Every structure is written in C-alpha cells, then in structure tokens.
Amino acid sequence: MLAVLSNVVRNIVILIFLVTILEMMLPRREFRPFVNMVVGLVLMLMLLVPLRSLLQLPGVLEPVLEIRDALTENAVAERQAQLEELNWELTLTRYRQLVEEKVAQLLLAADLELVSLELQVEEEVNHLEFGVPRQLTVVAQPRQQSAGLVEPVEPVKVEVGAAAGQPGAKTGVLEAEYAAQIAAALGIAAEIVEVRVLYH
C-alpha cells in the first residue's frame, strides 16, 4: 500500500516538473489551455491506475495470506532444525570419508590395504565434544599383487623355543605400531584406535 502511494506521489511530482518545463518552452500563451487539458488527462490516468490496483488488492493478497497461514513460526523453526540436522549429518559423513582416505594412505605406505573402517564419533550436536572420535576400528590386509606378476617367495624361518609357540606376537606389535601411526596422523588418542591385520 505504501509502495503504491509513494509511486503515485513520485509520478505526480515528475509530471509537475515536466509541465513547468513545457510551459517555459512554449512560445505563446495561447497553448496553455491545451497543455492544461493534456496534463489533466494524464493526471487522471495516473490517479486511476493505483485506484484500480487498490480495488483488485484483496485478490492479490490472497496468495500472500495463504503463504503466511502456511508458514507459521513453528513450521519455520522445525524446518530450520531439520536443515541444521542435515548439515551436521553431512559434516560427519564428510569427516568419516576424510578419515577413511587418510587411513587408507597410511596403510598403503605400510604395504597394506584397507578392508573396513568403523569410526564412532560423538553425534549429539549440543554436546561439547560433538564430532570427536570415540572409537576407530581398522581392519587391513596385505596388499594384493597385480595379476601377472610373480609374488616374491618369503624366506622360511625355523624358530626353536618359546617364540615358536607364539605366531601372533610379532603381528600384535605391528598392529600397535600401525595404531600409533594412525592416531598421530589424525591427532587423536592412541587408546581409541584399534588395528587388525588379516594375514592369510
């Protein structure tokens, strides 16, 4: 409503300026009645156009009123909460992807390949430690050789004594080293990282 009135006032002011300039430019005063008639017609048209839009205003306002009825504050707040939750879920998903890529690179440097990775993080948005890893479990295996290449033959070791009865002793040490490397690379505590290597 205010926009319509401001447009009408602006147009009237512009019309007055134009008429004043036109009267100054006319050589004789005999044209003044014609100018006044034209100005009066234009002025009536300028006033009728907003009046017509004001008469049609209830029909124009109906969609706006329907939108206002449909969009209550609770609906807007609920939608905002849904979008924020979706945003946090996407953030956690991306974080898990980045962790998986980093762990895969570290394992690749140790000639291992990633089999599975399970990352548990604090998912409560209002928690102070939101997104902080709680447990990281990595399962890896030795990297497969490309087809067509001959696999190197591992040397045969014959062990006598206590070490012969403990085939997993060296494996456990390596897994602990891998866990420490992964924890250092990700900047998390080594206690929450568990690495298992599946040797065939």
Domain residue extents for the chain? 2-70, 95-146+166-197
What DSSP string describes 145-177? PPTTSPPPPPPP----SGGGG-TTHHHHHHHHH
Residue 56 has φ and ψ, to the nearest 5°, of -90, 5
Find out whether 173 and 116 touch, Cβ atoms under 8 Å.
Answer: no
Domain 95-146+166-197 has what CATH class? alpha beta
Q: Report d(CA 105, CA 11) in Å as an integer.
A: 70
* pLDDT given for residue 150 in this prediction: 56
* pLDDT given for residue 146 in this prediction: 58
Find out whether 132 and 122 touch, Cβ atoms under 8 Å.
Answer: yes
Distance from the first to the final alpha carbon of the chain: 80
Q: At what angle do helices 73-109 and 169-186 cross, to 10 degrees?
A: 130
pTM for this model (two decimals):
0.51
- Tens of pLDDT, residue by residue over 81-113, are 888 888 888 888 888 899 899 888 888 888 888
Which segments of the chain have a pLDDT < 70?
A: 1, 53-71, 145-171, 200
* pLDDT given for residue 61 in this prediction: 52
Q: Report d(CA 141, CA 116) in Å as an integer.
A: 10
